Amino acid sequence: MQLSQDKATAKPKSGGALTFQSLHPLFVAEASAIDLRTVEDQATLKQIHNALDEYAVVVFRDQPFRGDEQLKFAQRLDRNVNFNSTTAVFLGKGRLGYEGMIDVSNVTDKGEVWGANDRKRMSRMSNRLWHTDASFQDPAGRYSMLWAKTVPPVSAPTEFADMRAAYDALDDELKKKLEGMHAHHSSIRNKEILGFDLSLDQKDMEKLHTADHPLVRTIPRSNRRSLYIATHVTHILELPVPEGRMVLHELMEHATQRQFVFRHEWQQGDLVIWDNRATMHRRPPFDDLKYPRELVRVTTLDYPESAHA
Ligand code: OGA
Ligand code: MN
């Protein structure tokens, strides 16, 4: 079919509607204005995949999501949403009412800011440790999409670290040593570190996840090597436990040095999409007993891709 001249010139040459502006020397970009609720065409979705391959974290401003529109967009971008979040095991059914949409807020079901000893607060405390989402599942998390519904009047950012740049910066001897190693990830390891009261019944214990993943992986399409670590890791399969934990501790210190880190200050309506295979993230502390901060997350799973390879 021949496009009319008007239609052919209405879009940039790449075939998609977007341009990207870099926000950090190593990773992270901001996308030009777009309403993701209306994005269905393969050309634009492919542009977003390409941007994630290159930048690993992409910021979209002013997304006026309602209901399950964020979930629907996530399914257009990457089909396999994680409907099996551990959050439900610790905290029960969320207040958002859609499976697959995770309430990342400091607000109770009654809409009030949580109290100091709230179980939800204790559970969410682990977001302050560097991690990558759903690394304890197999397939693990691929893209996370976090949307800012309510932003407090004080700084309450999310920090991201580039695990590809962190890997590249390791010395050759260590790179060689890590080759072929696997880490054991557990959904309760980070909670144990913080002393979270895990008293769960047998039925819930069975829903918790563990998974083994290579410590270093190659990300398909970009072919970049990346460190795959998180505070969910209990040990390295090929090493004695203390030695493995020491290696992890040192990798964690290395990978989260300031030059690898970007701090995103939220504006209401931001949707930040990141590639969990290429990054870690954490929430720095803020006055969470005073100001409501409401984010909503959808995470997709790292099934092999064919549709947009
Ligand atoms: C998450 C997460 C950090 C934050 O939703 O997966 O880690 O800043 N959030 O709330
Ligand atoms: Mn997270």
For the chain, which residues make up each domain, given as ranges?
Answer: 15-283+290-300
pLDDT band at 204, cuts 50/70/90? Answer: confident
pLDDT tens digits for 224-275? 999 999 999 999 999 999 999 999 999 999 999 999 999 999 999 999 999 9
293 lines ligand 1 (CB under 6 A): no
pLDDT of amino acid 16: 76
Q: What's the rounded mean pLDDT across residues 60-80?
A: 98
Give the Cβ contact number of residue 304 at 10 Å. 7
pLDDT higher at 94 or 156: 156
Is the minimum distance from the CB of 28 to ligand 1 under 6 angstroms? no
Assign 6 a pLDDT band (cuts: 50, 70, 90).
very low
Share of the chain above pLDDT 90, in %: 81
Identify the residue with better confidence: 197 or 51. 51
Q: What's the pLDDT score for residue 213?
A: 98
Is residue 139 reached through a cis peptide bond, with omega within 30 degrees of 0 on the bond before it?
yes
Neighbours of ion ligand 2 (CB under 5 A): 133
Residue 248 Cα to ligand 2 middle (Å): 19
Q: Does the beta carbon of 187 lie inside 6 Å of ligand 1?
A: no
Specify the pLDDT at position 14. Answer: 55
Q: How far is the CA of 115 from the centre of ligand 1 (A)?
A: 19
Q: Best substitution site from 136, 158, 270 to test ligand 1's pocket, by max atoms within 8 Å of Cβ?
A: 158
Give the pLDDT band of residue 104 (cuts 50, 70, 90): very high
- Ligand 1 atom showing the smallest separation from residue 131 Cα: 7
- Checking if the pLDDT of 191 tops 80, the result is yes
Please tell me the predicted confidence (pLDDT) of residue 87: 74
Average pLDDT, the chain: 92
Q: Is 96 in the pocket of ligand 1 (CB under 6 A)?
A: no
Strands 141-150 and 271-275: antiparallel
Ligand 1 nearest atom to the CA of residue 284, by list position:
8
232 close to ligand 1 (CB < 6 Angstrom): no
CATH 3.10.129.10 fits 15-283+290-300, yes or no: no
Q: Is the pLDDT assigned to residue 306 strictly greater than 90?
A: no
pTM of the model: 0.93
In tens, the pLDDT along 29-47 reads: 999 999 999 999 999 999 9
Q: Does the structure show a pLDDT above 90 at 88?
A: no
Query: What are the pLDDT digits (tens) for 117-142?
Result: 998 999 899 999 999 999 999 999 99
**Ligand 1 within 6 A of CB of 133:** yes
pLDDT for position 1 = 38
Give the pLDDT confidence score for residue 228 in this predicted structure: 98
